[in-house]
Amino acid sequence: MRFPCPIDDTRGLTCPLCEAPTISGATYDPPFVAAACPGGDEVETIGVLDNIRSAMNVGTMLRAGDGANVSRMHLCGLTAWIDNPKVIKTALGAEQSVSCSRSLDGTKCVAELASTGVEIWAIESTPQSTLLDEVVAGPIPARLALIVGNEVAGVDPQLLEMADRHVHLAMAGTKTSLNVGVAFGIASYAVRTARSHRQANST
């Protein structure tokens, strides 16, 4: 069996399956860092994670948010805080690079964002929702908040009422939705990519 292990980690001295001594088969180069997409100070994407029950999903979304240039995350309701070991394990440092705040009531958080001119998109399939691909093909507000909700219950109905748009992802298989962390990653990157392409084409 081949498996990766940091060179200074003593767990790599024995096989994790049979505990036999191991030998080093290869060494890894530092990860290649690709050039960042062009961005602009005039735009802002905000994440609202409302009642996310899985701390690992929270960490996944923080890491996706870091990559997609999400400026801040509001962790609402029962969503795990950034000191949770499972958040730290999956965020891989993004819990420190993305600004986070906590709110027990997601409706108050979203109302405050809306009052400052932030447009609110709820990532949820509803009778009023629009396909993500179609939404990002059109104008994207300069200041935008993406809401994702509980893995089982979905986005809080009151937050859906407060949202300017409902946005859903296309599903080609038998399931009706994606893991919430995956969905947030796709949506945040779609917004980032659409903005970057428009900025590149306008210069």
Q: Print the SS3 string covering the chain.
A: CCCCCCCCCHHHHECCCCCCECCCCCCCCCCCCCCCCCCCCCCEEEEEEECCCCHHHHHHHHHHHHHCCCCEEEEECCCCCCCCHHHHHHHCCHHHHCEEEEECCHHHHHHHHHHCCCEEEEECCCCCCEEHHHHHHCCCCCEEEEEECECCCECCHHHHHHCCEEEECCCCCCCCCCCHHHHHHHHHHHHHHHHHHHHHHHC
Give the domain 45-169+176-202 fold.
Alpha/beta knot (3.40.1280)
Residue 40 has pLDDT above 60, yes or no: no
At residue 1, the pLDDT reads: 79
Residue 34 has pLDDT above 70, yes or no: no
Those residues whose C-beta lies under 8 Å from the C-beta of residue 157, and which sit 6 or more positions away, are: none
Q: At residue 98, what is the residue type?
A: V
Q: How confident is the model over 47-82, as pLDDT tens digits?
A: 999 999 999 999 999 999 999 999 999 999 999 999
At residue 178, the pLDDT reads: 86
User: Vertex 122, ends 119 and 123: CA angle to 5°?
Assistant: 130
Q: How confident is the model over 168-200, as pLDDT tens digits?
A: 998 888 877 889 999 999 999 999 999 988 777
% pLDDT > 90, the chain: 70
At residue 83, the pLDDT reads: 95
Q: What is the mean pLDDT of residues 17-24?
A: 89
Q: What is the mean pLDDT of residues 109-122?
A: 96
The model carries a pTM of: 0.84
Residue 32 has pLDDT above 70, yes or no: no
Domains of the chain: which residue ranges? 45-169+176-202
At residue 44, the pLDDT reads: 93
Residue 17 has pLDDT above 80, yes or no: yes
